[in-house]
Structure 1
Amino acid sequence: MSITGTLIIQVIVFLILVGFTMKFVWPPIAAALDERARKIAEGLAAADKARAELQAADKKVEQELAKSRAEVAQLLADAERRAQGIVEEAKGRATEEANKIIAAARADAEQQTVRAREALRDQVAMLAVKGAEQILRREVNPSVHSDLLNRLQAELV
């Protein structure tokens, strides 16, 4: 056989092999490659979608945290204002109570002073009467001179 005949037969066999490969082998390989490319594309799309959802969730979490922080700050400010009000109210009540106690103590002291003065006047009057009685033992008659003794007592007041 000549080289030309061998070459033609090899070309024919090669063309049959290419035709067989194109008809029976290549479609499943192309389908598998297309399926794999599709799955990779779907995975990338899902990853992009998940990344976007994660970013959205992060933004939402940050917003909720900011909102919660603002609410907590507001609650703390309200609590501090209430506490300050309670303290001021307690101070006011304590001042009122102290003023009442001081006023009561002053009134009591004034009453005791008045009582002590009256008792002292009575004692001074009694001593004056006793002294005068001793000096003028015979001349002093309490029933006769009661008006004089009352004036004497009034002058000592």
Structure 2
Amino acid sequence: MNITHPESLIFWTVLVFVILLVLLRKYAWKPILGAVKSRETSINDALAAAEEARKEMQNLKADNERILKEARAERDSLLKEAREMKEKIIADAKEEAQEQGSKIIAQAKAAIEGEKRAALAELKNQVASLSVEIAEKVVKQEFSDKDKQLELVGNMLGEVDTTLN
């Protein structure tokens, strides 16, 4: 075996290269390709997970927007109910105040009417007393003198008029 010849050198180089390729293919390339394949699968899985996370974020965003809309609608509903309740309370209070005012006015009118009746009864009593006094004075004077009696009655009626005014 003569390695000095270029043909034999080429032969041995090719043979070593082929053996090296076979050995590399059998022992190195499979693990390297397996690692590359594993890495590719891992990257694809990560991309799929990222896509899934993006979709989940979109779903969460949509859910948040829906929940926010529902909360706003509920808030608006509660505010509307509160306004209606406030208006009802005010209306009820006005109605009750008006009823109380009407009752007080009716009581005042009844009290005034009672006072008026009492005053009229007192006036009648005073007129009756004055009439009795006039009658006594007329009787005391002479019954025969009719002019005196008429004058006396006129004077007494004048006194009654001034007393009433």
How much has 1:128 moved relative to structure 2?
4.3
Does 2:64 correspond to 1:61? yes
Match of 1:92 among 86, 95, 112: 95
With structure 2 as the length reference, what TM-score do the two structures score?
0.75
Match of 1:117 among 112, 117, 120: 120
C-alpha distance in structure 2 between counterparts of 1:35 and 1:117, whole Å: 119
Report matched runs for 1:32-111 at 5 Å: 32-111=35-114
With structure 1 as the length reference, what TM-score do the two structures score?
0.78
The 3 A distance-change label for structure 1 pair 139 and 5 is farther
Q: How many pairs are equivalent?
A: 143
How much has 1:32 moved relative to structure 2?
0.8
Q: Which consecutive aligned stretches of 4+ in structure 1 deviate over 6 angstroms post-superposition?
A: none
**Structure with the greater alpha carbon radius of gyration:** 2
Identity level (%): 36
2:16 is paired with a residue whose SS is helix
How much has 1:13 moved relative to structure 2?
1.1
Bigger RCO of structures 1 and 2 (CA < 8 A, at least 6 apart): 1
C-alpha distance in structure 1 between counterparts of 2:102 and 2:93, whole Å: 14
CA RMSD of aligned residues (A): 2.5
